[in-house]
Amino acid sequence: MNDIAPPNGFLPVLRKRRESAWNGIDTDRVLQVLVHNLDGMVFRCAIDEQWTMHFVSDGSRELTGYCPDELEYNKVTSLEVITYPEDRAVVRRAISTAMAGSGRYRVQYRIVHRRGAVKWVLERGAVVLDEKGQRVLEGFIEDVTEQVESQRQLADAELRYRSIFEDSVVGMFQTSIDGHYLAANRALAGLYGYETPDALIAGLSDIAGRLYVEAGRREEFKTLIREHGRVTDFESEVYRRDGSRIWISEHAHVVYSPEGEALYYEGTVEDVTAQHNYRQQLEYQATHDPLTGLPNRNLLQDRLQQLLNLAQRRGTKGSLAFVDLDNFKLINDSLGHGAGDKLLVEVARRLRSCLRDTDTVARYGGDEFVLILGDDGGLSDTLHILRRVRNAIGEPVMLDGQEVRVDCSIGVSVFPDDGAELGVLLRHADAAMHHAKKLGKGQFQFYTESLNAEARDRLALDSALRRAVEQEELHVVYQPKVDARGRPFGFEALVRWESAEFGSVSPVRFIPLAEENGLIGQLTVFVLRTACREAARWRAAGHGHLRVAVNISPSLFREKDLAALVRAVLAEAGLPPENLELEITEGVLMGDVQRTLAVLNELKAMGVYIAVDDFGTGYSSLAYLKRFPIDILKVDRSFVLECDQGNGGLAITRAIVSLAHSLNLRVVAEGVEQQTQLAVLNALGCQEFQGYYFARPMPVEQIAAYLAGG
């Protein structure tokens, strides 16, 4: 208990009626009204066991449910009784402390309202002396239930938020505007490779410089927040503590002070590496060729558009080069698709190595590549690059232990002169490429208007051929094959096309087209059927020894069940198999060896003859032939043409004839035009011939007369 006497209480003032100094106002009455109307309870009480009330204002009704009369002098109840039992000691302690100290106190506790409700009250009071000089308490008790409740809710929310923050599996942060962490949760620490949030806060002190892989990313983050107040899905690549990289997505906003000053950023971080990589992969797949890894047509379109825009803005030019491999088909057919794929990958690598960083090389399809070249160094640079491309592609390639060479033909269109969009530029470059092909292997050509017309013709030819095959506009002619005495022992069936639109079109022109556009199957079936029917007629006319020979394209070995087809056609025509000969090119022998062997064996077992056409022009080594059930070798016309001129042609023809004999094969020399050639061939031991010298291919109607004459 302190020694200082407490001040006098307010009750005498309330009781004593006195004139106010304020302009005649009855201050006593004013005070009475005020006290009794206060939202809360004004009181004086004894410092005793029950806090016996000497005075209680009207507010007691609302606060406690008791009217002043019931509380004063504990008539019905006492303040001690209505104080919540567990809080009574708290109140008493607060008052004891006040009595020992300043005499003033402030204590928050619960009371039980008359109707049973528990209320939080705040009591502020002082120890004072009453009229008799006794220590009493005077004070004010108000209902603070609402404030306490909302504080409690706030605390709960804070607690909940804290546990969400700390236990969340999503990374959460608060960072200062200048770029260091104020708070981070465990998930974020884990994401960035730190043991604890504290380790993250201490270790990652410079977010701008140490977190983001891409410089300036933090600035972008800040700019976005400045402009929009928040960032959503802000995706960046970041470094983890160990230097590894991950992709994250941030959602964040700025937190302002009541004065509107930006205090800090807060937000969430998610690891989106898997999604990012998946998206990248999808994008890559959509824009790249899976075999070579080069951009595909989609990306080509984009790149060209960019370059076209640039060229337009700067008034510059560029070139689009269409690169087509000259003998890819042969290699694919002969060495198989696996080797073909390897070749394409190697070509892609070489193309890439020939270009500048700013150029683009794309795989356009099959064995076609497209280059887009800027004109940084003008036409001479473009020419230089194209030569480099041609030479690089022409270098030998090892495929499954075999050395192979491919050449390429290149067609070039220049933009914007030859067109300002991909379709047009490609069409023009394609036309130029076809022109280059005609000039021979390894050529390149720039587009000219006349080439455009040629390309249109090619397209027209393509659709005309389709019609011709479907409507059987084709017919077959037959060229005799004769023995040393000029007697025919067979005919080669050769297809002819008299087009209403194009006139007579050479098979040299339309057979490759049919192979390209897939019509070759239908075409071959037509020739095979017609020829077998015709040979059956020869037999019926008493020429049972005559064989008809039909050319079979390599693709038929892959795409059709050739043996079944032949069997069906023979049966349909009623022709014995030994009256049919199939001419295959040597490329066929080098394709899928197992499959080819199986098909040839089946044909052979049936009794069909097999001849290898154009022998000597392909890749097959002569010894290779031993493995296949072959009956006849046809020496290519190009060797026969030169065999009487004492150069390489003679040597090759001699080698082929002697090899064929050593393998027990028959040799047919094709393209014999001169008596001198015949003499040489005879001398080499060649016994069978085909060529204009004996007879040109003839329509079916002339055969009877020819045979009668022969």
Ligand X SMILES: Nc1nc2c(ncn2[C@@H]2O[C@@H]3COP(=O)(O)O[C@H]4[C@@H](O)[C@H](n5cnc6c(=O)[nH]c(N)nc65)O[C@@H]4COP(=O)(O)O[C@H]3[C@H]2O)c(=O)[nH]1
Q: Which is nearer to ligand X, 323 or 527 (CB)?
A: 527
692 binds ligand X (CB under 6 A): yes
The DSSP secondary structure of 186-238, one letter per residue, reads HHHHHHTT-SSHHHHHHH---HHHHTBSSTTHHHHHHHHHHHHSEEEEEEEEE
Site string for ligand X, 114-153 (x = CB under 6 A): ----------------------------------------
Angle, to 10 degrees, between the axis of helix 507-517 and the axis of helix 449-470? 80
**In whole angstroms, how close is the CB of 488 to ligand X at the nearest point?**
14
Q: Which is nearer to ligand X, 490 or 691 (CB)?
A: 691
Taking the C-alpha atoms of residue 483 and residue 470, their distance in angstroms, rounded to an integer, is 37
Q: What distance lies between CA 7 and its chain's CA centroid?
A: 87
511 binds ligand X (CB under 6 A): yes
Q: Which residues pair with 657 in a beta bridge?
A: none
Q: Which residues pair with 505 in a beta bridge?
A: 497
Q: Which is nearer to ligand X, 244 or 506 (CB)?
A: 506
Q: Which is nearer to ligand X, 527 or 600 (CB)?
A: 527
Contacts (CB under 6 A) with ligand X, residues 640-679: 670-673
587 binds ligand X (CB under 6 A): no
Contact at 8 Å (CB) between 184 and 197?
yes
Q: Which is nearer to ligand X, 319 or 690 (CB)?
A: 690
**In whole angstroms, how close is the CB of 570 to ligand X at the nearest point?**
17
Q: Which is nearer to ligand X, 65 or 671 (CB)?
A: 671
Binding segment for ligand X (CB under 6 A), chosen from 21-29, 388-396, 563-571, 690-698, is 690-698
Binding segment for ligand X (CB under 6 A), chosen from 169-177, 374-382, 454-462, 507-515, is 507-515
Q: Which is nearer to ligand X, 9 or 587 (CB)?
A: 587
Contact at 8 Å (CB) between 340 and 328?
yes
**In whole angstroms, how close is the CB of 296 to ligand X at the nearest point?**
32
1 binds ligand X (CB under 6 A): no
Residue 632's SS3 state is strand
Q: Which is nearer to ligand X, 82 or 528 (CB)?
A: 528
Choose, by CB under 6 A, the member of 254, 495, 548, 590 that binds ligand X: 495
Residue 269's SS3 state is strand
Select from 590, 680, 687 the least CA-distant residue to 632.
Answer: 687
Binding segment for ligand X (CB under 6 A), chosen from 54-62, 368-376, 618-626, 686-694, is 686-694
Q: How far apart, in Å, are the Cα atoms of 89 and each of 41, 83, 142, 184, 451?
A: 21, 10, 19, 42, 108
Q: Which is nearer to ligand X, 347 or 632 (CB)?
A: 632
Contacts (CB under 6 A) with ligand X, residues 263-282: none
Binding segment for ligand X (CB under 6 A), chosen from 192-200, 284-292, 362-370, 684-692, is 684-692
479 binds ligand X (CB under 6 A): yes
506 binds ligand X (CB under 6 A): yes
508 binds ligand X (CB under 6 A): yes
Q: Which is nearer to ligand X, 250 or 614 (CB)?
A: 614
Taking the C-alpha atoms of residue 50 and residue 133, their distance in angstroms, rounded to an integer, is 20
Residue 355: how many CA atoms within 13 Å on its side-chain side? 22
Residue count, binding to ligand X (CB under 6 A):
23
**In whole angstroms, how close is the CB of 688 to ligand X at the nearest point?**
13
Taking the C-alpha atoms of residue 10 and residue 12, their distance in angstroms, rounded to an integer, is 6
| Token code pair at residue 635 | 């020496």
**In whole angstroms, how close is the CB of 326 to ligand X at the nearest point?**
17
697 binds ligand X (CB under 6 A): yes
C-alpha gyration radius of the chain: 52
Q: For residue 566, count CB atoms less than 10 angstroms from its CB and return exposed for 0-12, middle for 13-18, buried for 19 or more.
A: buried
Q: Which is nearer to ligand X, 524 or 579 (CB)?
A: 524
**In whole angstroms, how close is the CB of 519 to ligand X at the nearest point?**
11
Q: What distance lies between CA 25 and its chain's CA centroid?
A: 90
At 654, which amino acid appears? R
Site string for ligand X, 521-550 (x = CB under 6 A): ---x--x-----------------------
Select from 38, 37, 16 the least CA-distant residue to 27.
Answer: 16
Q: Which is nearer to ligand X, 244 or 504 (CB)?
A: 504
Q: Which is nearer to ligand X, 346 or 492 (CB)?
A: 492
Binding segment for ligand X (CB under 6 A), chosen from 238-246, 325-333, 502-510, 622-630, is 502-510
Q: For residue 121, count CB atoms less than 10 angstroms from its CB and return exposed for 0-12, middle for 13-18, buried for 19 or more.
A: buried
**In whole angstroms, how close is the CB of 619 to ligand X at the nearest point?**
17
553 binds ligand X (CB under 6 A): yes
Contacts (CB under 6 A) with ligand X, residues 314-353: none
Contact at 8 Å (CB) between 460 and 453?
no
99 binds ligand X (CB under 6 A): no
680 binds ligand X (CB under 6 A): no
**In whole angstroms, how close is the CB of 342 to ligand X at the nearest point?**
27
Select from 378, 409, 381, 377 the least CA-distant residue to 393.
Answer: 409
Binding segment for ligand X (CB under 6 A), chosen from 214-222, 287-295, 389-397, 688-696, is 688-696
Give ∠ CA 155-157-160 in degrees, rounded to 5. Answer: 110
555 binds ligand X (CB under 6 A): no
Binding segment for ligand X (CB under 6 A), chosen from 76-84, 259-267, 500-508, 591-599, is 500-508
Choose, by CB under 6 A, the member of 112, 144, 224, 494 that binds ligand X: 494
Contact at 8 Å (CB) between 673 and 667?
no
Residue 28 CB coordination number (10 Å)? 16
How far does the chain reach from its first CA to its final CA, in angstroms?
Answer: 153
**In whole angstroms, how close is the CB of 691 to ligand X at the nearest point?**
3
Q: Which is nearer to ligand X, 352 or 496 (CB)?
A: 496
**In whole angstroms, how close is the CB of 696 to ligand X at the nearest point?**
7
Give the 3-state secondary structure of 674-707.
CHHHHHHHHHHCCCEEECCCCCCCEEHHHHHHHH
At 693, which amino acid appears? Y
**In whole angstroms, how close is the CB of 562 to ligand X at the nearest point?**
12
Residue 5's SS3 state is coil
| Alpha helical stretches, state H, 319-421 | 328-335, 337-354, 378-394
Q: Looking up tokens 């076809």, which residue turns up?
A: 434
Name the pairing type of β-strands 547-551 and 580-585. parallel
Taking the C-alpha atoms of residue 41 and residue 52, their distance in angstroms, rounded to an integer, is 14
Q: Which is nearer to ligand X, 335 or 505 (CB)?
A: 505
Q: Which is nearer to ligand X, 225 or 640 (CB)?
A: 640
At 107, which amino acid appears? V
698 binds ligand X (CB under 6 A): no
Contacts (CB under 6 A) with ligand X, residues 601-630: 613-614
| Token code pair at residue 460 | 């027209």
Residue 627 CB coordination number (10 Å)? 12
Q: Which is nearer to ligand X, 191 or 513 (CB)?
A: 513
- Provide the binding-site residues for ligand X, judged by CB under 6 A: 479, 494-495, 506-508, 511, 524, 527, 551, 553, 583, 613-614, 637, 670-673, 690-692, 697
